[in-house]
Structure 1
Amino acid sequence: MFESLTDRLGSALKGITGQAKLTEDNIKGTVREVRMALLEADVALPVVKAFTDQVKERAIGTDVMKSLNPGQAFLKIVHDELQAVMGEANEKLNLATQPPAVILMAGLQGAGKTTTVAKLAKYLAEREKKKVMVVSADVYRPAAIKQLETLAKEVGAQFFPSSGDQKPLDIARNAIDAAKRAHVDVLLVDTAGRLAVDEAMMAEIQALHAGIKPVETLFVVDAMTGQDAANTAKAFNDALPLTGVILTKADGDARGGAALSVRHITGKPIKFMGMGEKVDALEPFHPDRVASRILDLGDILTLIEEAERKIDKSKADKLAKKMKSGKGFDLEDFLDQIQQMKNMGGLTGMLDKLPGMGNMGAMAKQTDAAEKQFKQMESIIFSMTPDERRFPDKINGSRKKRITAGSGTEIQDLNRLLKQHKQMQKMMKKVSAKGGMAKMMRAMGGMGGGGGMPPGGMPPMMR
């Protein structure tokens, strides 16, 4: 996320963070480079000007000049100002109303609005413990209604049916009545997208808004459109009383122009960002954490929250008990570990949130190779019998031929997997003997000299 901005800002700040003393001259030079980095990231010009003026003003002030570590103090100023541009803190949805709380979703066609409705439904159900209903008021695209129905089933939300021969306002009002009868907490109303902002679209959504009076009106916009995202959001905000913005496709946005422009131009907070295609890939937007990620300072809090949600605690407890009882770490356990890592977004998703790991060319290449290797490992283990997974030592020459033929791999790929499993097995035995995962994590942190990663940047199983 925002790799090119992270790279450029990193280069701009590298020289100054090591300075023992800051002068107006070296501050000016760095601020100029920061300005160029932001413009290249497609951040809107008024935002760049306001941001750099504020950084310069604070940097030349006494709080930096008298600091014991001026370079680090300057980095903190950049971090704080990035956060201020995007909003001081995460702004939650306002659901404090007589149920159902109606949320109106607006946006251009192709921004990922219908998928975002489903993601938000899943988020509200799982993390806010709300009973959610969804309805599509997009009468121009029958496929959108069918798509929302399919997604609603996938995320476990109630779906209110609609059709192309109805009026959007009638659909929404009928859905509100149904939501009341079903004692639903939140009703998400999807609306029609257009390829561009036009008068007819605005008139229709204004009438819909006036007719249902939603507690939240969220604008869904593609982060990859850069400052155009902020300009489109402003056009909608001029016509509708928006309460917030959801940035989609933020995981594919290397620049970051939208994230840094939307709040300043519209005055409305970014409440969520979409971080992938899966229905659980929606994160609350925390400006402080995003600022840290942009500056490659990591986002450990989000990583911990993801781990708490996505790691299967029962499997982890089962493995701990198994290791304590002296039973070996077999290939079934090895497969579980690979799949748990995939649930966390794979190595790429995890590295993005670790300090100093967000944007390294060599690391990215290694990570891509590692992700491919994980997929290959899964294929090989899936080609084994349950008995072979539990007792890998039984895998002889003829079994190897059968397994590699079934997984489309070579004998050396299987041999490498078995060797890596042995290494992991030894590590697990040490962990079990010495008392727990915490010690292993501390040991791994010390091995890499930073970022909690071992030498070579890969976990032990990948080396």
Structure 2
Amino acid sequence: MAFEGLTERLQKAMEKLRRKPKVTEADLRETMREIRLALLEADVNFKVVKDFVKKVREEAAGAEVLKGLNPAQQIVKIVNDQLTQLMGEEAVPLNKAAHIPTVIMMVGLQGAGKTTTAGKLALRLKNEEHARPLFIAADVYRPAAITQLQQVAKQIDVPVFEKGTDVDPVEIVREGMEVAKQNHNDYVIIDTAGRLQIDEQLMDELANIKELVHPDEILLVIDAMTGQNAVNTAQGFDDKLNITGVVLTKLDGDTRGGAAMSIRAVTGKPIKFVGEGEKMEDLDVFHPDRMASRILGMGDMMTLIEKAQKNFDEEQAQETMDKMRENTFDYNDFLAQMDQVTKMGPLENVLKMMPGMANNPALKNINLDPKQFAHIRAIVLSMTPEERENPDLMNPSRRRRLAAGSGRPIVEVNRMIKQFNQMRKMMKQVTNGNMNGMQNLFGGQMPGGKMGQMAMNRMARKMKKDKQKRIKKLRKLRKKH
């Protein structure tokens, strides 16, 4: 995952400050040195690092900070604010035309993921705006480029305008725009050609398309794993086309993430979206403040909440909570909850959005192999309807039958059942206001340290109050009857 190394280095630097009763100028210099090295190792542009460290030092060096209360916390806040400012301060929405269609040009080098990103963007527009987008296949050079776009479009049920590979791309775009106007498409997404490197022929063609359609958006798609080359690519395209925004792909890969922190500072153009997965749903709006929070290991609760709202049915969630509270949570509910959680993306990424979990030792000890979900599903689906509804029926003979039916070892079946029972017990404690179960889950270490402990305690108090209110309400009803 992007920024893992950076997050770990920055957290260690900040932790050193927190342990000191008083922060001196020497401590500040040492922290700035650690931050500078961490950013350089993350492949952030050298000039960007230099300016960033200078701004943080200037703000943190004042007597008000060093001599004030909790200087370490104030420095963390300064670093967080500067990271947010470096990446753009706030999310930037798509530009929209006054009259349909809104035209979006997707540009970039080969292999960056233009075609897949075009599909993800179209699906997002369909789901959130009920839009009717149209693809124009303007890449006539790359083998099977048109076929790939058609396959992507078929997955999300979006039409594609194409004229094959023997027609000039500018002419294809001209005819495609006429079709879009006739069909009253809300958006036109032009999938343009790419090269292995920037060349004059590519730029001239893109410039001609731009002159023809006057696009509302020119989105540069960049592979985050290319590091410093991503910044050079962004500069090259911006100089020729005056791009309006950037989409960073493969941010979930083994990348140091420096491109995300350098592009805005170097080009002045905002990162509008990030791709953090292979599914068509895996395209998120880029929020600089949330990304800064994640980089500093403080989690990203807003994104987590938004993902949960998209994927969880509120009525079903309440029903599940009631079942947990009453200890009637069964394997059918377990399977339904597992399906909803997996829709939110890789579990490891979801957990890292919780405050303090980015480099939590407890998280590193959890086996997050996606295949485990498939194995668990196979075991549960091998149960009879009666067994799924009554978890306590799992005697040794039934477990042996489950192992044979699911093709999994008996040890794995026993482990899954044990974990299910522990989870059911823990969730009953949590829903009744007892947070000991949650502490056991994280090996006695609450997420987010003291802040996480305080948040969990508040949640526990609220649950306890809710429980007391329910009891009072039941007593009043009994008295009436």
Same fold, TM-score > 0.5, yes or no: yes
- Residue identity matched to 1:355: P
Deviates more, 1:343-352 or 1:203-212: 343-352
Contact 1:130/1:185, CA 8 A, preserved across alignment = yes
Contact 1:19/1:70, CA 8 A, preserved across alignment = no
Call closer, same or farther: CA 1:69–1:152 in 2, change over 3 Å: same
Call closer, same or farther: CA 1:31–1:431 in 2, change over 3 Å: closer
- Residue identity matched to 1:280: E
2:358 is matched with which residue? 358
1:40 is displaced (CA, Å) by 0.9
Call closer, same or farther: CA 1:5–1:254 in 2, change over 3 Å: farther
1:431 is displaced (CA, Å) by 7.0
Q: Is 1:120 aligned with 2:121?
A: yes
- Residue identity matched to 2:447: G
Contact 1:5/1:254, CA 8 A, preserved across alignment = no
Q: How many angstroms apart in 1 are the aligned matches of 2:169 and 2:194?
A: 13
Deviates more, 1:389-398 or 1:63-72: 389-398
Q: How many angstroms apart in 1 are the aligned matches of 2:14 and 2:89?
A: 23
2:349 is matched with which residue? 349
Contact 1:231/1:265, CA 8 A, preserved across alignment = no
2:338 is matched with which residue? 338
Identity %: 48
User: Paired residue for 2:446, among 424, 443, 450?
Assistant: 450
Aligned ranges for residues 227-306 of structure 1 at < 5 Å? 227-306=228-307
- Residue identity matched to 1:363: L
CA deviations over 1:390-415 (Å, ceiling 9, x no partner): 34455555543342123221223222
Call closer, same or farther: CA 1:220–1:75 in 2, change over 3 Å: same
1:76 is displaced (CA, Å) by 0.8
Q: How many angstroms apart in 1 are the aligned matches of 2:290 and 2:280?
A: 22
Call closer, same or farther: CA 1:254–1:393 in 2, change over 3 Å: same
Secondary structure, counterpart of 1:229 in structure 2:
helix
1:253 is displaced (CA, Å) by 4.3
Q: Under a length normalisation based on structure 1, what TM-score does the superposition of the two structures give?
A: 0.89
Q: How many angstroms apart in 2 are the aligned matches of 1:55 and 1:327?
A: 51
Q: Is 1:221 aligned with 2:229?
A: no
1:107 is displaced (CA, Å) by 0.6
1:354 is displaced (CA, Å) by 1.1
2:93 is matched with which residue? 92
1:155 is displaced (CA, Å) by 2.0
1:271 is displaced (CA, Å) by 0.5
CA deviations over 1:404-454 (Å, ceiling 9, x no partner): 12322122322233333334444566677x5xxxx5789737985532799
Deviates more, 1:404-413 or 1:387-396: 387-396
Contact 2:252/2:277, CA 8 A, preserved across alignment = yes
1:420 is matched with which residue? 419
Q: How many angstroms apart in 2 are the aligned matches of 1:102 and 1:303?
A: 31
Q: Is 1:386 aligned with 2:385?
A: yes
Contact 2:427/2:437, CA 8 A, preserved across alignment = no
1:145 is displaced (CA, Å) by 1.3
- Residue identity matched to 2:410: I
Call closer, same or farther: CA 1:92–1:443 in 2, change over 3 Å: farther
1:243 is displaced (CA, Å) by 0.3
Deviates more, 1:53-62 or 1:20-29: 20-29
Q: Is 1:37 aligned with 2:66?
A: no
- Residue identity matched to 2:126: A
1:461 is matched with which residue? none
Call closer, same or farther: CA 1:281–1:243 in 2, change over 3 Å: same
- Residue identity matched to 2:86: V
**CA RMSD, aligned part only?**
2.7
- Residue identity matched to 1:77: I
- Residue identity matched to 2:34: E
Query: What are the ranges of 5 or more consecutive residues in structure 2 without an aligned counterpart?
Result: 454-481
Call closer, same or farther: CA 1:6–1:205 in 2, change over 3 Å: same
Aligned ranges for residues 193-204 of structure 1 at < 5 Å? 193-204=194-205
- Residue identity matched to 1:225: T
Q: How many angstroms apart in 2 are the aligned matches of 1:56 and 1:5?
A: 19
- Residue identity matched to 1:88: E
Q: Under a length normalisation based on structure 2, what TM-score does the superposition of the two structures give?
A: 0.86
- Residue identity matched to 1:401: R
Contact 1:17/1:74, CA 8 A, preserved across alignment = no
1:199 is displaced (CA, Å) by 1.2
2:137 is matched with which residue? 136
1:380 is displaced (CA, Å) by 0.8
1:341 is displaced (CA, Å) by 1.8
Deviates more, 1:17-26 or 1:110-119: 17-26
